[in-house]
């Protein structure tokens, strides 16, 4: 499939982003979820579920949280700030 067809067939997963939450517990369960694009191609995401809603957990958030937990293993809550859009999106993990 060429780039144009791929772009036209792309649908974002129907999950919210962890940055949409006010705070997140470090003890919440993280699941791998598999999704399928319109063309049948499958992909997986890390997801948490809060009050029945799924929230995507970007890999960069897990990496940042790992670094924070190395220095502060007793951390119970954190929040995530999303900066930028599209391919220029970055996430800042803020210990609470």
Q: Where are the domains of the chain?
A: 3-95
| pLDDT at residue 70, rounded to an integer | 96
Summarize the confidence of residues 65-92 as an average pLDDT: 95
Summarize the confidence of residues 14-32 as an average pLDDT: 93
Q: Look at residues 59, 47, 2 and name the one whose alpha carbon lies nearest to residue 20.
A: 47
Is residue 78 scored above 60 in pLDDT?
A: yes
The residue whose two tokens read 């369960």 is 29
Per-residue pLDDT band at 41 (split at 50, 70, 90): confident
What token pair was written down for 90? 């970055």
pTM, entire model: 0.77
Residue 16: exposure state from Cβ atoms within 10 A (0-12, 13-18, ≥19):
middle
What token pair was written down for 49? 């579920």
Is residue 11 scored above 80 in pLDDT?
A: no
Is residue 90 scored above 90 in pLDDT?
A: yes
């Amino acid at each position: 499939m060429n780039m144009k067809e791929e772009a036209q067939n792309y649908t974002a997963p129907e999950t919210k982003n962890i940055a949409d939450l006010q705070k997140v517990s470090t003890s919440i369960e993280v699941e791998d979820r598999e999704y399928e694009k319109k063309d049948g191609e499958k992909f997986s995401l890390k997801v948490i579920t809060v009050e029945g809603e799924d929230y995507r957990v970007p890999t960069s958030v897990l990496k940042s949280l790992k670094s924070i937990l190395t220095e502060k293993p007793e951390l119970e809550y954190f929040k995530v700030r999303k900066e930028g859009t599209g391919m220029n999106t970055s996430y800042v993990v803020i210990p609470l």
